[in-house]
Structure 1
Amino acid sequence: MGDTEVQDESIRIAHLTMLQGVITRMGANSFTLKALAATFGSAAVAVMATAETPSPYYAVAAVVPMIIFWLMDAQYLRLERAYRKLYDHVRKGEEIEAYSLEATPFMKDTSSVIRLALSWSVSWFYVAIFLSLGAVASLIFCVA
């Protein structure tokens, strides 16, 4: 292997490492959004259960940020998929500028945010929180 090939290989490995870091951050951000959504849902249940005058508005107030978290989670998944495609192109040695983190060309090959939000890998978590919120709200207001 010549000096140029060794240098090219080390650049490719460094590029792959950078992309791996980006992909890892996308996954961590997705996890954080799920934790925040669960916290909002739990807080709404706690407030509804302990309030002197329970109101369904507590549940509604929690739903709005959870929907935002849901869509942001789907967007992170979309970005992660685009970066995985970029990673795959670099891994295969295809023509990608060295150290490029530009995943925009690969976004067209990924599903839309709404489609990803409704996919099983994202929706089951948020639907479960919404169902739990609805069940607790129903119990609180049916008993009261």
Structure 2
Amino acid sequence: MSNSGQQSQPSQPSKVTPDSNSVQSYLNILQGIITRMATNSANCKTWCVSLVSAILVVIADKNKPNYAWIALIPIVLFFLLDSYYLGQERNFREIYNNFVKELHSGEVVTDKLFVLKPPKGMNVVNLLFSSSLSFSVYPFYLTLVLTVIIARFLIL
């Protein structure tokens, strides 16, 4: 029950300009997320090589060649995780690119700032599948699988 009898009207979202501090902050947030996803993807590869190498060294030291298949577990897990990070990176790049396109066409209003919704139709299974087919993912992990097979049958 208001004293003045006036109701506050919701304000209309205003258009933003590319040089706005809020636009620059939003773009910096998106760039930071994209960078983190790329770093996480690279870390997956680093950790996977380290773990697979350590497993193969221990197996060779213990003279148990049949245990070489254990090295496939981190390969599969890091393959999935790496694919997930790559898919997330692609999604955030799409959000970034769409925002910049709308910004240049003058369509961005304040309501679109700081919104990080996934693109329409984003599905984790499709994300993993499409990302796993990337040239930056499958050749790397396929090479590791071949290394384990070669180590099992030729070296150990």
Shared fold (TM-score greater than 0.5)?
A: yes
Tell me, yes or no, if structure 1 residue 9 matches structure 2 residue 11: no
Partner of 1:54: 64
For residues 95-139 of structure 1, the C-alpha deviation after alignment (integer angstroms, 9 at most, x for no partner) is 46211222243736xx53123213322111111111111111112
Partner of 2:114: 99
Larger helix fraction of residues: 1
SS class of match (1:107): coil
2:92 to 83, 91, 108: 83
TM-score by length of 2: 0.75
1:130 maps to amino acid:
V
- Does structure 1 conserve the Cα–Cα contact (< 8 Å) formed by 2:18 and 2:24? no
- Give the share of equivalent positions with the same residue, in percent: 31
Partner of 2:31: 20
TM-score by length of 1: 0.81
Structure of greater Rg? 2
Supply the distance in 2 between the matched residues of 1:112 and 1:90 (Cα, whole angstroms): 21
How much is the aligned-residue C-alpha RMSD, in angstroms? Answer: 2.3
**How many residues are matched?**
134
Q: 1:18 to 1:60 in 2, by over 3 A?
A: same
1:44 maps to amino acid:
I
1:54 maps to amino acid:
K
Partner of 2:46: 35
Gaps of 5+ in 2: 1-14
Supply the distance in 1 between the matched residues of 2:121 and 2:38 (Cα, whole angstroms): 18
Partner of 1:135: 150
